[in-house]
């Protein structure tokens, strides 16, 4: 299909890469000439200009979506329109007031991203195995919904269909709350002793990763979705008060119960590809700090015919060795351990760890 993508940031450029690979003809546009040039270069240097695009995808920040829809619908009234914005309720109410557009519009939201923005961070596999939410309205034509579904599947995503209000409540829990908490943790980290941060392990990096996200973008999202976010922040504040009180009173039973409740809640997050959470095993491998070691491990995994679910890397400054920890199924972890140790790798026995 002839697809025009309005917005060549992280998501728009990643979509372009994914759909170009599927054989679609991609046109990109952006207010930023710099972003547009980089995105075009990533696509191989050619930017097609469709006189009659079949699909127009709005990949702008949330506050620009409606304006972009108006502009593009006026110029291309026969196209199918899709947005990928992070909020739906107010947008669909506004689109419902635009005769003609409401039938050709299917709102959607790929639940994928990174804490770094811009086309330089784009990846063609960004959506592989990730949820993609479709929020069609009562006016959305079946063909528009079908096209949105087809494009999401071609990007490698798993399809979910929600009402706009359900969508906004869901993303408040799984996206907006984590962002707010991570950002506030970053505030506390920034007020701590800077020399201590050299001791930080992967745990601090994991829980503070989202704090590196774009503040302007997230300010728009949090304010626009405040009715869903505020009750969750109140629940979090209550849990935080419970933790503080347990510490003040040295109440180990209450503290254990609270930490256990947190572990139980975390275990409810589905596993890979939206399935049930699996008990992966962690295989620690000590490696020399020199180029090519990670590539060699991947090669050995292929030789052993095992599937890596995830990995982490640890390295202390000045140390001549590093630690690669692979997450695998129990059987693959044991198989790979035997394979690596037979070749002289410093692989340690796998340990169970729920993911």
pLDDT (tens digit, 9 = 90+) per residue, 144-197? 999 999 999 999 999 999 999 999 999 999 999 999 999 999 999 999 998 899
Q: Which residues pair with 287 in a beta bridge?
A: 322
Element at 80 (helix H, strand E): strand 80-83
Whole-Å CA distances, 253 to 244, 248, 256, 261: 14, 13, 5, 12
For the segment 273-296, the average pLDDT, to the nearest whole number, is: 78
Q: What φ, ψ does residue 214 adopt, rounded to 5°?
A: -70, 120
Domains of the chain (ranges, CATH numbers): 2-162 (3.40.50.720), 167-267 (1.10.3660.10), 278-354 (3.30.70.260)
Mean pLDDT of the chain: 91
| pLDDT at res. 309 | 83
For the segment 5-32, the average pLDDT, to the nearest whole number, is: 95
Q: What are the tens digits of pLDDT across the range 51-97?
A: 899 999 999 999 999 999 999 999 999 999 999 999 999 999 999 99
Q: pTM for the whole thing? A: 0.76
Long-range contacts of the stretch 271-275 (C-beta < 8 A, 24+) = 271/355, 272/129, 272/309, 273/129, 273/158, 274/129, 274/131, 274/158
Half-sphere exposure of 171 (CA within 13 A, CB side): 29
For the segment 117-137, the average pLDDT, to the nearest whole number, is: 91
DSSP letter assigned to residue 345: -
β-pairing, 25-29 vs 55-58, is unpaired
Half-sphere exposure of 152 (CA within 13 A, CB side): 28
Q: Do 122 and 39 contact (CB within 8 A), yes or no? A: yes
Q: Do 80 and 102 contact (CB within 8 A), yes or no? A: no
How far apart, in whole angstroms, are the C-alpha atoms of residue 349 and residue 355?
18
How far apart, in whole angstroms, are the C-alpha atoms of residue 108 and residue 135?
6
Helix (DSSP H) and strand (DSSP E) numbers for the chain: 14, 12
Q: Do 232 and 173 contact (CB within 8 A), yes or no? A: yes
CB-based burial label for 55 (10 Å; 0-12, 13-18, 19+): buried
> CA 178, 224, 34 angle in degrees (round to 5)?
85
The model's confidence at residue 353, banded by pLDDT at 50, 70 and 90, is low
DSSP letter assigned to residue 350: P
The model's confidence at residue 355, banded by pLDDT at 50, 70 and 90, is very low
| pLDDT at res. 354 | 46
CB-based burial label for 280 (10 Å; 0-12, 13-18, 19+): buried
């Amino acid at each position: 299909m002839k697809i025009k993508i309005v917005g060549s940031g992280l998501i728009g450029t990643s979509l372009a890469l994914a759909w170009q690979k599927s054989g679609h003809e991609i046109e990109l546009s952006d207010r930023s000439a710099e972003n547009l040039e980089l995105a075009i270069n990533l696509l191989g240097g050619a930017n097609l200009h469709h006189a009659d695009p079949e699909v127009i995808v709005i990949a702008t920040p949330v506050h620009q979506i409606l304006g972009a829809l108006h502009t593009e619908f006026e110029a291309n009234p026969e196209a199918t329109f899709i947005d990928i914005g992070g909020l739906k309720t107010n947008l669909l109410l506004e689109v419902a007031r635009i005769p003609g557009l409401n039938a050709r519009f299917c709102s959607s939201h790929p639940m994928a991203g990174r804490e770094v923005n811009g086309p330089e961070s784009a990846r063609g596999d960004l959506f592989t195995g990730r949820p993609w939410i479709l929020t069609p309205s009562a006016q959305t034509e079946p063909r528009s919904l079908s096209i949105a579904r087809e494009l999401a599947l071609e990007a490698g995503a798993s399809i979910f269909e929600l009402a706009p209000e359900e969508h906004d409540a869901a993303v408040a829990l799984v996206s907006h709350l984590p962002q707010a908490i991570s950002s506030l943790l970053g505030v506390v980290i920034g007020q701590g002793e800077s020399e201590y941060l050299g001791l930080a392990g992967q745990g601090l990096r994991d829980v503070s990763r989202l704090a590196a996200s774009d503040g302007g973008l997230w300010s728009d999202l949090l304010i626009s979705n405040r009715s869903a976010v505020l009750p969750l922040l109140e629940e979090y504040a209550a849990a935080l008060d419970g933790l503080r009180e347990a510490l003040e009173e040295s109440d180990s039973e209450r503290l254990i119960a609270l930490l256990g409740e947190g572990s139980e809640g975390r275990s409810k997050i589905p596993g890979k590809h939206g399935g049930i959470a699996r008990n992966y095993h962690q295989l620690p491998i000590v490696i020399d700090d020199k180029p090519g070691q990670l590539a060699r491990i991947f090669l050995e995994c292929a030789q052993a015919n095992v599937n890596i679910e995830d990995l982490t890397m640890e390295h202390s400054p000045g140390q001549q060795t590093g630690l690669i920890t692979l997450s695998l199924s129990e059987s693959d972890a044991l198989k790979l351990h035997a394979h690596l140790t037979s070749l002289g790798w410093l692989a340690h026995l796998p340990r169970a760890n729920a993911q």
